[in-house]
Amino acid sequence: MTSASEGGCFDFPANVGDVCGDKRLRQPFRVDSMEWSFQAAEDLAAALRAGEVSSVELTDEAIARIERDDKVINAICVPDFDRARAAAHGADQARARGEDRPLLGVPVTVKESYNIAGLPTTWGMPPHRNYMPAEDAVQVSRLKAAGAVVLGKTNVPLGLQDIQSFNEIYGTTVNPWDHGRTPGGSSGGSAAALASGFGALSIGSDLAGSLRTPAHFCGVYAHKPTLGLAAGRGMVPPSEPALPADLDLAVVGPMARTARDLALLLDVMAGPDPLTLGVAHRLALPPARHGRLGDFRVLVLDEHPLIPTGSAVRAGVNRVAAALVDGGARVERHSPLLPDLTEAATLYMRLLISGSVARFPIESYEELRTRAAGLSADDQSLDAVRLRAMVSSHRDWMGANNRREVHRHGWRQLFAEFDAVVCPITPTPAFPHDHDPNPLERRIDIDGVEYPYFDQLAWAGLATMPGLPATAIPAGRSPEGLPVGVQLIGPMFEDRTPLRLAELLEQRIGGFHAPK
């Protein structure tokens, strides 16, 4: 067992870790003459209300930083600077009239996969490079209604189906901490943008850790909401109709540089689609279960039966566990109430892959069916699970879905005894770029041993399969100086509980700081 101190390099600058009792001492990041770029969205909103800065000034500074630094990072794949400046001017005029909205005048970015009228939506797919939607996605509309200034769109992998962010149209986004490594995916452009000071907030999506993994790799915060909490209409593949349909496993959610900013943006995003459930339903999220760290009951996990946890990530988990203990929380390492992790990962892969390949051409399907028939009945590896899932029947899917409900009930029982679960997001920090055109041939190196590339999704799937909320938080740095994050999984529709725990941990161990 590696302790946090043995893991090394878990250092934070004083301006994010200073604490006075239970009150965080807020000090802005001052990395150069651009003094606003790394401040929290709530602090920018306060400065705008106080007249200390204008939205035009914030927007011009953000654009200047992007034009200066994004040639290397390549996070902003579709800039929209002219309209951003116009929106900033309009925000200043609205404020002069006495208006106030949650994000009025705050610069933000949006993942490329969201429809924005007048900008291309491609999902990185060359045949759709010229597709231009006519209407904003629901979440883009909500951002604009809250007063946010949209700077542009952030890069994604091809079809959103990778743990990296590169495609033929827009190229490769690099990790701001190490340009030879990925920022993660599929919301990698958003995480890299936040870490680079390109806007105060971003919105992304998560099906296989696509919010949480980039946050972990880039040292920022993200929240995967409870399944169905935030409407996803308009976050749809190019040229497909923006229907108010809920996709299995998939969610949209916020990314930020502080835990409180996540909660601020979630309040803007949460709520049913006005075309469907919103006709009759109104959102009433319960408050966090506790306000003090010492009142939380937390289960800490750092081992998975199907894939090892690398030493750097284990040290991050242990660092958070130590902070919880020091804060008086009740911390356990084992519980008989925890659903079986092997079955959870298997169910997740079956549900994920069967949905992902449903539109494959029939020729590919027949080839996959032949390959699956050749598997040994004894082969229960995740690779085999994924191959069988590619040709699963509706009956197979129904069986997996029924088992999912059993797991959901198990989680309800666990969360009667615990308030949150702390565990890894992936087994390692950000890995080097790997553009092998066959992802099944890729490997992930965990402390010198190689494992199938997609096996690293097991931890992300722990929250995704049952639809639970999960907050990704910074938990230190690896010996190489790379960010390390962990996720805080909470009870279904109690998103404010892991978000509050994230805020309390930020006060105790620090959070984001800018790459050097």
Active site residues: 111, 186, 210
Distance CA 196, CA 70 (A): 8
Sequence letter at residue 290: H
* DSSP state letter for 240: S
3-state secondary structure 279-332: HCCCCCCCCCCCCCHHHCEEEECCCECCECCCHHHHHHHHHHHHHHHHCCCEEE
Supply angle C-alpha 185, 190, 191, rounded to 5.
75
Question: Residue 138: which of 94, 203, 222 has the closest Cα?
Answer: 203
Distance CA 373, CA 376 (A): 8
Place of tokens 């990072």: 73
Task: Please report how many Cα atoms fall inside a 13 Å half-sphere around the Cα of residue 66, on the Cβ side.
Answer: 29
Buried b (16+ CB within 10 A) or exposed e, 442-478: bebebeeeebbbbbbbbbbbbbbbbbbbbbbbbbbbb
Distance CA 253, CA 276 (A): 19
Q: What's the longest Cα–Cα distance across the chain?
A: 71
